[in-house]
Amino acid sequence: MRAAAARAPRPLPRIVESVRALHAFADAERAAGRRIALVPTMGALHAGHLALVAEARRRADVVVVSIFVNPTQFGPKEDLSRYPRPFERDLALCGDAGVDVVFAPSPEEMYPAGSQTWVEVSELSQPLCGATRPGHFRGVATVVTKLFAAAKPHFAVFGEKDFQQLAVIRRMARDLCLDVEVVGVPTLREPDGLALSSRNVFLAPELRGEALALVRALDAAERAARGGERSRDALLALVGAELARAPRGAVDYAELRDPESLEPAPALLERPSLLALAVRFPVLGGAPGQSVRLIDNRVIPTGHAGEDAS
């Protein structure tokens, strides 16, 4: 049997580097009646990002992917310079996924000299990741607002793995009356269950098994909740026992919260609740004390009989 011919790669997307050029592109597409979807990323694309692109492609006529490592969401102890930037690989993946435009601005394009305007979602930014990364969500909300203004999308697609980020962006879009629908896509996972993340490349191979403690913790809490357990403290005790099986992991947080408001869950759970986790592990080849921070979450069905997770 003749071997199948190799599929020719799709053409690379158009690269746009200036806000003005992206404005012109978006204005022309909207004038032609075409719907635009934006997928904001910081590059180092993986299958999780491509799932976002697929959802964007399903909803819209035109897909724009932004690749911009946003400096304002990195804290003083977070190494911006180490963030992976495989731009040519990312561009090829975008081409294969059918992306129309890659918006790849410089920091100076997104933050012109003298910039002094910030967007902050005050309450939702405080707990969970916000508690240990002050200013992070101000940087996220500000850059996403700029991306919305530049790309003028009808839809913006984000992953649910970054659940708090998604909640912040949805609140920001509502509060600022932005004409964009913010779409969440379920977390994509590696075969062993670990949530796909650009940060996984920094995880030492010998710590891979320990990192799976996050998945085991989510599973244990969900099993108990489905079995009728409603005590917040009992569920968190199960989570803590699983995370303790990762001795080289340092827990940032393991909390049950309301999925919309992110307020702490009550002592006795009566509705589906967000279980959010963040654990730090030593960095592969990093300096002493350097760590990679993995996050994961699940909305667990802690409602009344017959009520399931949303």
- Could you list the active site residues? 49
Q: Is the CB of residue 274 less than 8 Å from the CB of residue 259?
A: yes
- Phi and psi at 182, nearest 5°, equal -90, 120
Cα–Cα distances (Å) from 37 to 7, 29, 140, 151, in that order, read 26, 11, 19, 9
How many Å apart are CA 180 and CA 150, to the nearest integer?
A: 12
In whole angstroms, what separates CA 243 from the centre of its chain? 22
User: Which residues have CB under 8 Å from 273's CB, separation 6+?
Assistant: 232, 256, 257, 258, 259, 265, 299, 300, 302
In whole angstroms, what separates CA 245 from the centre of its chain? 26
Lookup: tokens for 263: 């307020």
DSSP run (H or E) holding 40: strand 36-41
